[in-house]
Amino acid sequence: MKQIQITLTPPESKRIIAMGVKKLPVIQQALEKGIILITLGTTNSYVAEELTGKKIDHSRYAAGYIGETATVVPNDKRLPSIALKNGKEVNADTILNEMTSSDVVIKGANALDPDGVAGVMMANPIGGTTGGFIGIVMARGINLVIPVGLEKSIPYSVTEISRRIGIQRCSKSTGLPVGMMPLFGEVITEVEALMLLGAENVFAIGSGGVNGGEGSIVLCAEGEHVDELFELVKKVKEKKGEF
C-alpha cells in the first residue's frame, strides 16, 4: 500500500475539509433534491465556496471566532448564512421551517475532544446561532455535519466542559466569556476528508509550526490512489487554500 505524508496549514486544512464535505453522500443527495443550511463559520465559508462555486469573504462569514481572544464579528459586518434548495441558493432566514430528516445543517466547531465530540463556544447569553437551530435539528433528526480542523483538538471532554462553564460563571476573561454546547453529528476533520477524497487510511503524525505554519497538521495517508490525492493537495497548497 502506498503512503504519503502531507503538511496542511489551517487555511489549506479548511479547503481540504470543504472538499471532503462536498463528497459526503448526504450532501450529494441534498444538492440534488433537498435543503442544505450552511451556518456561519470560517471553515463553513470554505464549504460554502465548494458548494456554490463562488468566492466568499472568510472573515465576514462568521459569528464568533478565536482571534487573539474569543470575540465576534459585528452584526453589521457579517454575511448572511447560505441555504441551498435542490442546489440553488434560497433565503436562509426561514429555511429551517421547511427542513426534514433528509436535509443537512452544516455547523463548525471550536473544540474537538478525544472521543470525537465537537463543541461550539457560545458568547451570546441566549445561545446565538447555535441556539437558533440546534433544537429543531435534534428534534427532527436533521443531518448535522460538523467540519472542524484537527488544530481544534483539546485533551478534555467537551461534555464535561459544557457542564462546568458558562458566561455568568466567569468572573474575568481576556475576551468574551463563553459557554459551550456539545454538537452531535458527523464530524469531518482532515482525516475523514482525505478518506472521502481517495485515501484508504489517514492518521495525524504531528502538529503546530512557526514562520506561517502555526496551527498546521502533518498527516500520513495510505492507499492505492494516494498519488492522485497528493497532486490534489499540491494544488491546494499552491493556492494556500484559496478558492
Convert the pLDDT of each residue in 174-204 to its tens digit: 999 999 999 999 999 999 999 999 999 999 9
**Residue among 113, 135, 114, 132 nearest 122 (CA):** 132
Predicted confidence at residue 4, as pLDDT, reads: 98
Convert the pLDDT of each residue in 98-119 to its tens digit: 999 999 999 999 999 999 999 9
Residues 6+ apart with CB under 8 A from 121: 64, 66, 70, 110, 111, 178, 179, 180
**Residue among 127, 132, 162, 139 nearest 39 (CA):** 132
> Can you tell me the mean pLDDT for 36-61?
97
Task: Please name the residue ranges forming H helices in 68-165.
Answer: 128-140, 158-164
Pairing, β 35-38 against β 104-106: parallel
Please name the fold of domain 12-197: Rossmann fold (3.40.50)
Residue with cell 457560545: 122
Convert the pLDDT of each residue in 126-177 to its tens digit: 999 899 999 999 999 999 999 999 999 999 999 999 999 999 999 999 999 9
Phi, psi of 130 (to 5 degrees): -65, -45
CA–CA distance, 7 with 49 (Å, rounded to integer): 22
> Can you tell me the mean pLDDT for 8-32?
98
Q: Would the pLDDT of 92 be above 90?
A: yes
Residues 6+ apart with CB under 8 A from 131: 122, 124, 181
**Residue among 192, 227, 221, 222 nearest 7 (CA):** 221
> Can you tell me the mean pLDDT for 45-60?
97
Predicted confidence at residue 78, as pLDDT, reads: 96
Distances from the Cα of 91 to the Cαs of 18, 72, 221, in angstroms? 22, 23, 39
Confidence of residue 243 (pLDDT cuts 50, 70, 90): confident
- 8-state DSSP, 74: -
Q: Would the pLDDT of 97 be above 90?
A: yes
